[in-house]
């Protein structure tokens, strides 16, 4: 018998299954989705990194440029004639304070400044201290004030109270320095702030500032 190979029927492998078009499409979709997710995560990572870097830069600038309060110290204070019975008639107070700008990049404008002296929280006198003053960074200014005549409001009874305190070793006063200030950073100016510096002062029997309060730092606050 002659076998004709060409005429033999071709048998298909029962284990080989045709690839489903649906399966192929689903696989491609998963690949696309995976790539899209990776790209999105990459973009988000870049954005968050840039945001973090900007935050660090702004924080450093804020630390370096944020205004610090001026520092005030009382350097001199005197009330001559404190021991005289009728000294209140010719009494006067003189004082000196220092105003220091501790900022490295920030300047300070003092648009106005006044000083008021209190004894037992009652006004003794007040006066204007300085004309508008400009302070460069890391600069210290000496400010002087004198209360006498119409700027003094000491009567006989209050003078006697001061004398009794003097006999006990000290007389305590409070100097309230009130100023309207602005801060300057390069070309930027802040709004005006009303600042108080409260200096607590002790004078001895001679009416001069006691050493323990000399150069004492005065608390500063804003209103």
Q: What is the pLDDT along the chain (223 residues), one digit of tens a residue?
A: 445 445 555 555 555 555 555 555 665 666 566 777 777 788 888 888 888 777 766 555 555 557 899 999 999 999 988 888 777 778 899 999 999 999 988 999 999 999 999 999 999 999 999 889 999 999 999 999 999 887 788 888 899 999 999 999 999 999 999 999 999 988 888 999 999 999 999 999 999 999 999 999 999 999 8
Domains: count for the chain: 2
Same domain, 54 and 113: no
End-to-end CA distance of the chain: 121
Q: Which of 85, 161, 98, 84 is nearest to 129 (CA)?
A: 98
In a domain, 15, yes or no: no
Q: What is the pLDDT of residue 24?
A: 58
CA–CA distance, 171 with 161 (Å, rounded to integer): 9
- The domain containing residue 42 runs over which residues? 21-65
51 and 75, same domain (yes or no): no
pLDDT value at residue 208: 95
Assess whether 36 and 110 both reside in one domain: no
Query: Are 48 and 92 members of one domain?
Result: no
CATH number of the domain to which 122 belongs: 2.60.40
Same domain (yes/no): 163, 76: yes
Selection from 172, 170, 179, 176 nearest residue 218 by Cα: 176
Residue 1, pLDDT score = 47
2 is a domain residue? no
Quote the tokens at residue 75.
Answer: 């350097």
Tell me, yes or no, whether 132 and 203 share the same domain. Answer: yes
Same domain, 121 and 87: yes
Give residue 64's pLDDT: 55
Same domain flag for 56 and 91: no
Q: Which of 11, 32, 65 is the C-terminal boundary of a domain?
A: 65
Tell whether 48 and 123 lie within a shared domain.
no
In a domain, 40, yes or no: yes
Alpha-carbon span 158 to 128, nearest angstrom? 23
Residues 94 and 199 in one domain: yes
Residue 151 and residue 201 share a domain: yes
């Amino acid at each position: 018998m002659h076998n004709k190979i060409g005429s033999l029927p071709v048998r298909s492998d029962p284990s080989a299954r045709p690839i489903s078009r649906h399966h192929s499409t689903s696989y491609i979709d998963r690949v696309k989705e995976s790539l899209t997710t990776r790209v999105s995560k990459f973009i988000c990572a870049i954005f968050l990194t840039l945001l973090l870097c900007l935050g660090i830069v702004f924080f450093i600038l804020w630390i370096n440029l944020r205004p610090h309060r001026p520092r005030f110290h009382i350097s001199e204070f005197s009330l001559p004639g404190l021991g005289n019975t009728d000294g209140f008639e010719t009494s006067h107070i003189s004082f000196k304070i220092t105003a220091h700008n501790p900022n490295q990049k920030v300047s300070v404008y003092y648009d106005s400044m006044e000083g008021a002296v209190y004894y037992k929280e009652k006004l003794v006198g007040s006066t204007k201290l300085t004309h508008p003053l400009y302070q460069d960074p890391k600069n210290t200014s000496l400010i002087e004030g004198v209360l006498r005549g119409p700027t003094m409001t000491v009567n006989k009874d209050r003078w006697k109270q001061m004398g009794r305190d003097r006999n006990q070793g000290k007389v305590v006063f409070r100097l309230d320095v009130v100023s309207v200030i602005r801060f300057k950073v390069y070309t930027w100016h802040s709004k005006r702030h009303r600042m108080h510096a409260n200096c607590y002062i002790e004078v001895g029997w001679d009416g001069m500032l006691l050493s323990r309060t000399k150069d004492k730092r005065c608390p500063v606050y804003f209103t």
